[in-house]
């Protein structure tokens, strides 16, 4: 139950909790700080339970490499904020950033090393659907209040959640819902169909290219990746291609209709990929981070890009900037192992596939807007993919 709760909270916890203060007109920290404490406390409780019960958990070379990378990242952040503080003002106060990285990113991710049962994954999937639907409806209400008052929607977001975070919530819930169709009854299929439509609508309304790309990637993989020793027939292949094409056409037609009626204005954001201010700033961050790496390729330079004093929005470049070639090497080893595990999990069938697909989703996020220091979902589902793949392998050998 506790492990299932960690899966759920990693995906829908913060989006749901952060929306409540906005609805009630309260300071967001009244909800978000207790939530962070709850997650950290739950993680500590699970780890203590491992020690008391002697719970078997995954510990492989890939896990060790990941832990070494974490230790170096934490050391770099500690050095740059406490021992020898960087000049300038960080995008988040140093103390808050340290607590966020340790308590809300790395610590909860360790919990994913426990081998989950099928019942645990099923429970987590169902609650992600339910709480994800509630969170998305709340976000839509907050984000669309201006539209109801006659204004134009440019990007769906809330005062606490940026459009990228909202978009990835929609993608994760869509993945979970799609994986729940297998073996579901008529009512469950109807519910999940509505949930997929809602998720796609929320994702597109954020006008965030990263989540949209991740969602398309997940749909294509689900449509064309089959279990081992099974082939996809021509008829099934044609049906799936047609279904994806119809879905994309339906979304495009809806967007065009809403654009024509003056309700939304999102096409410019999608088409002017490198013209908006945010994209230009990210390009400058990337150039700055690369320069910092080339000047200090062995030990790295700093845990942030020094012009903007924040992460460069690309985890590969961030590892090079912060830790040099060693950091990049450790990250590549960790990601390669987790990607291979995610592939095994996806091919095992829909009951497990959503875990691997969400990891792929957050790899896309990591390449376009993520950070190694704060992206808890990336690390959680990397380790979860490793643990589930090992569990499936052991079961297959036992049979």
Each residue's pLDDT tens digit, 378-398: 999 999 999 999 999 888 777
pLDDT attached to residue 156? 80
8 Å CB contact between 112 and 43: no
Q: Where are the domains of the chain?
A: 2-398
How many angstroms from the chain centroid is the CA of residue 256?
28
CB atoms within 10 A of CB 75: 14
pTM above 0.85, yes or no: yes
Tokens 């769906």 found at? 156
For residues 257-271, average pLDDT? 56
Query: In the predicted model, is pLDDT for residue 144 greater than 80?
Result: no
Q: Residue 53: which region, alpha, beta or left (left: phi > 0; alpha: psi -120 to 50)?
A: alpha
Q: Using one digit for the tens of pLDDT, what is the confidence trace for 211-226? A: 889 998 998 888 877 5
Instruction: Say if residues 115 and 355 touch (Cβ distance below 8 Å).
Output: no
Residue 74 confidence (pLDDT): 95
Q: Residue 207's closest CA among 170, 167, 245?
A: 167
What are the pLDDT digits (tens) for 272-310?
555 566 677 888 889 999 999 999 999 899 999 888 889
CA distances from 204 to 7, 34, 144, 148, 156 (A): 25, 31, 14, 19, 9
Alpha helices in the chain (DSSP H): 2-8, 14-24, 29-53, 61-78, 94-101, 107-110, 118-148, 163-179, 186-206, 209-224, 234-260, 267-271, 277-295, 315-347, 350-368, 376-398
Q: What is the dihedral of CA 227, 380, 136, 371, to 10 degrees?
A: -120
Give the C-alpha separation, 362 to 39, whole Å.
Answer: 20
pLDDT (average), residues 81-95 = 86
**360-398 burial: b if 16+ Cβ within 10 Å, else e:** bbbbbbbbbbbbbbbbbbbbbbbbbbbbbbbbbeeeeee
Q: Give the Cα separation of 60 and 145 in Å (integer).
A: 50
């Amino acid at each position: 139950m506790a492990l299932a709760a960690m899966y759920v909270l990693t995906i829908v916890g913060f989006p749901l909790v952060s929306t409540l203060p906005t609805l009630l007109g309260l300071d967001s920290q009244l909800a978000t700080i207790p939530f962070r404490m709850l997650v950290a406390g739950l993680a500590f409780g699970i780890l203590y339970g491992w020690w008391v019960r002697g719970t078997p958990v995954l510990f492989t070379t890939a896990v060790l490499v990941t832990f070494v990378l974490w230790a170096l990242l934490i050391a770099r952040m500690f050095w740059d904020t406490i021992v020898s503080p960087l000049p300038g003002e960080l995008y988040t106060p140093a103390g808050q950033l340290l607590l966020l990285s340790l308590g809300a990113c790395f610590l909860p991710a360790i919990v994913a090393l426990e081998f989950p049962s099928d019942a645990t994954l099923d429970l987590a999937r169902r609650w992600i659907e339910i709480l994800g639907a509630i969170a998305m409806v709340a976000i839509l209400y907050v984000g669309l209040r201006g539209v109801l008052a006659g204004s134009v929607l440019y990007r769906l977001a809330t005062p606490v959640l940026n459009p990228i975070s909202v978009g990835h919530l929609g993608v994760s819930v869509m993945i979970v819902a799609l994986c729940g169709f297998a073996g579901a009854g008529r009512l469950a299929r109807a519910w999940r169909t509505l949930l997929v439509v809602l998720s796609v609508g929320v994702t597109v309304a954020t006008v965030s290219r990263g989540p949209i790309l991740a969602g398309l990637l997940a749909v294509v993989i689900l449509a064309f990746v089959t279990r081992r020793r099974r082939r996809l027939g021509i008829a099934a292949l044609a049906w799936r291609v047609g279904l994806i094409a119809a879905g994309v056409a339906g979304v495009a037609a809806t967007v065009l209709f809403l654009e024509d009626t003056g309700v939304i204005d999102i096409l410019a954001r999608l088409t002017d990929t490198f013209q908006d201010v945010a994209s230009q700033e990210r390009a400058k961050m990337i150039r700055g981070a690369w320069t910092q790496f080339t000047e200090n390729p062995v030990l790295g330079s700093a845990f942030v890009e020094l012009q903007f004093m924040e992460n460069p929005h690309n985890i590969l470049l961030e590892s090079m900037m912060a830790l040099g070639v060693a950091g990049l090497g450790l990250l590549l080893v960790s990601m390669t192992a987790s990607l291979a595990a995610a592939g095994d999990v996806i091919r095992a069938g829909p009951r497990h596939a959503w875990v691997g697909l969400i990891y792929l989703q957050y790899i896309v996020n990591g390449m376009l807007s993520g950070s190694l220091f704060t992206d808890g979902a990336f690390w959680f589902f990397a380790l979860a993919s490793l643990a589930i793949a090992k569990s499936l392998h052991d079961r297959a050998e036992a049979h």
